Amino acid sequence: MGPIEADIPETQRSIKLNTPQASSMADQSIPSDDQLPQKYTPNFTYFQGFWCPSQLVPNITAFQNHFQALDDDIVLASKPKTCTAWLKALAFSILNRHRCPLSNSPLASPNPHDLVPYFEMTLYNNGCHPDFADVSSPRLFATHLPYHALAESIKNSKARIVCVTRNPLDVIVSMWHFATSRPERAHWPLDECFEQFCIGDRVGTFLGPCS
């Protein structure tokens, strides 16, 4: 059986990422907390009231400053490890059920994360300025950012925000397995992951759903 040549909708294939020679994005003032131990600071930043990977701060700032929402946009909001891929696949299938029959679905090949891009990790990554001019509506996006960190254009529009939640115990276990698959966290104790999650530590609860 040969590869499926899917007709991927414009929303997923027409976003042009324009990377300027010199990024004009300036980091906003980043909050800090001198009470936190040094171990909290190397890879994560406490930014606008939540922990996030430090490399995402300029991406988030660019998204907040430049994204212009449309009233029929759909934003999938979730906390990491809460079945985001499942929600993306479901939403994509519903929106494109008339254009992409199951026998020729793009979901048969690409990862759902490739079909429904994140604002902060994909679209505005590394100084990119996405061009949405050729993207058909309704546009489908995803984010792990909390509600207050979304672009004002989203909050001031009629765009729909779809949230997914998951049993916190399942989130902790999934997060622990994901984290310990990396060499630097291979020996991270599950009980420590649990404690960090419960107290709102950077590793346990970085980013988050629209709340």
Q: Where are the alpha helices (DSSP H) in 40-189?
A: 57-66, 84-95, 112-115, 152-155, 168-180
The SS3 call for residue 162 is strand
Catalytic residue (one of 113, 144, 148, 187): 144
With contact defined as beta carbons under 8 Å apart, do 134 and 14 qualify?
yes
End-to-end alpha-carbon separation of the chain, Å? 45
Q: At what angle do helices 190-199 and 168-180 cross, to 10 degrees?
A: 130
Say whether 148 is catalytic: no
Residues identified as active-site: 144
